[in-house]
Amino acid sequence: MSAFQKTPGWLDWDPHPSRPRFRMPKGAVDAHCHVFGPGAEFPYAPERKYTPCDASKAQLFALRDHLGFERNVIVQATCHGADNRAMADACRASGGRARGVATLRRGVSDEELRELHAAGVRGVRFNFVTRLVDSTPREDQAEIAARVARLGWHVVVYFEAPELPGLLDFLAALPTTVVVDHMGRPDVTKPVDGPEFARFLELLREHPRIWSKVGGADRLSVTGPPAVKGETAPYADVVPFARRVVEEFPERVLWGTDWPHPNLKHHMPDDGLLVDFVPRIAVREELQRKLLVDNPMRLYWPEERKGAS
Ligand code: 0GY
């Protein structure tokens, strides 16, 4: 049992996801997921904005195997602040099958960076979503980015679409590959050809260093999941957005389940159904392989790609 009281109304992850119908390419990577605690072993951070249910590394690895993934990229969740122990522990325990993305504060020691790198961390996340974090000065983030660039890491950014104009210069100046979470969180009730999403696509066109995750359909969707568990074609409203990004930038897209799905208010997705979303946004085998295997391997396990075509 957790030593922490969950945020009221918290939705727990689905313990019985269906098996995906989609046959994933060999070596697929779930490139966006988290671990939460367990709180009794890895306490949640005092500055957190929510207290989740526990979601341990063993549960994450069981889900990986059930869904048919071979690897995970574990993104530090804000409920752990800049205490990366739970995420790093999961990476270390994975036998090389998980890499991590950390949260760092300015002043992090070289020794801590070396330890995180040895655990498998290859990126730092800057979060601009104010319901999740207090803001961090841009100078701090710029300094952190310069330090992790020397380790060959990249920067992951999480923001919502209305914030993009104010971030353009900052993102353009970052010295690393930059990965945007959840397509910059478009409002999917707006047209895919409208000015808001055009701004995001323009960002990727102008900056070949900027990548996008195209997961988070459960989070972005307004139409939601199907009424009957196990039915196909959920999250129809997100499909045109994700498909557009995959087809225009096939070498710079990543996908992940987002398990254990923090802060969902209306429903908890069936992770098997979420995997079945992939062939609707990456409609050809070649695109599926890039999205699920080639791109995440290039970014997170580049040493295994040496000599690969
Ligand atoms: C996500 C999205 C959310 C939360 C976090 O680190 C986090 O707490 O990323 C969210 O609430 O939108 O990508 O998991």
State residue 43's pLDDT score: 98
pLDDT tens-digit profile of 145-201?
Answer: 999 999 999 999 999 999 999 999 999 999 999 999 999 999 999 999 999 999 999
What is the percent of the chain with per-residue pLDDT over 70, rounded to a whole number? 95
Could you tell which of 78, 128, 180 is best to mutate to test the pocket of ligand 1, judged by most ligand atoms within 8 Å of the CB?
A: 78
Q: How far is the CA of 37 from the centre of ligand 1 (A)?
A: 15
Catalytic: 258? yes
The pLDDT of 79-87, averaged and rounded, is 98
Predicted confidence (pLDDT) at residue 55 exceeds the cutoff of 50? yes
Predicted confidence (pLDDT) at residue 248 exceeds the cutoff of 80? yes
Could you tell which of 50, 158, 221 is best to mutate to test the pocket of ligand 1, judged by most ligand atoms within 8 Å of the CB?
A: 158
State residue 304's pLDDT score: 93
Cβ 258 under 6 angstroms from ligand 1? yes
More confident residue, 176 or 229: 176
Q: Which atom of ligand 1 is nearest to the CA of 261?
A: 14
Q: How far is the CA of 295 from the centre of ligand 1 (A)?
A: 22
* Confidence band, pLDDT 50/70/90 cuts, at residue 223: confident
The pLDDT of 202-211, averaged and rounded, is 98
Q: Which of 172, 289, 267, 158 is nearest to 219 (CA)?
A: 267
Q: How far is the CA of 134 from the centre of ligand 1 (A)?
A: 14
Predicted confidence (pLDDT) at residue 2 exceeds the cutoff of 80? no
Predicted confidence (pLDDT) at residue 230 exceeds the cutoff of 70? no
Q: How far is the CA of 130 from the centre of ligand 1 (A)?
A: 11
Predicted confidence (pLDDT) at residue 232 exceeds the cutoff of 90? no
Q: How far is the CA of 306 from the centre of ligand 1 (A)?
A: 33
State residue 81's pLDDT score: 98
pLDDT tens-digit profile of 178-192?
Answer: 999 999 999 999 999
State residue 133's pLDDT score: 96
State residue 233's pLDDT score: 67
State residue 224's pLDDT score: 82
Cβ 181 under 6 angstroms from ligand 1? yes
Cβ 103 under 6 angstroms from ligand 1? no
> How far apart are alpha carbons 104 and 301 in whole angstroms?
21
Q: Considering 14, 89, 258, 271, which one is annotated as catalytic?
A: 258
The pLDDT of 211-230, averaged and rounded, is 84
Q: How far is the CA of 77 from the centre of ligand 1 (A)?
A: 6
Q: What residue's CA is closest to ligand 1, atom 5?
A: 77
pLDDT tens-digit profile of 94-139?
Answer: 999 999 999 999 999 999 999 999 999 999 999 999 999 999 999 9
Cβ 180 under 6 angstroms from ligand 1? no
The pLDDT of 20-32, averaged and rounded, is 97
Cβ 78 under 6 angstroms from ligand 1? yes
Cβ 14 under 6 angstroms from ligand 1? no
Query: Average pLDDT of the chain?
Result: 95
Task: Confirm whether pTM is higher than 0.85.
Answer: yes
Predicted confidence (pLDDT) at residue 227 exceeds the cutoff of 80? no
More confident residue, 2 or 218: 218
Predicted confidence (pLDDT) at residue 225 exceeds the cutoff of 90? no
Three-state secondary structure string covering the chain: CCCCCCCCCCCCCCCCCCCCCCCCCCCCEEEEECCECCCCCCCCCCCCCCCCCCECHHHHHHHHHHHCCCEEEEECCHHHCCCCHHHHHHHHHCCCCEEEEECCCCCCCHHHHHHHHHHCEEEEEEECCCCCCCCCCHHHHHHHHHHHHCCCCEEEEECCHHHHHHHHHHHHHCCCCEEEHHHHCCCCCCCCCCHHHHHHHHHHHHCCCEEEECCCHHHHCCCCCCCCCCCCCCCCCCHHHHHHHHHHCCCCEECCCCCCCCCCCCCCCCHHHHHCCHHHHCCCHHHHHHHHHHHHHHHHCHHHCCCCC
Cβ 218 under 6 angstroms from ligand 1? no
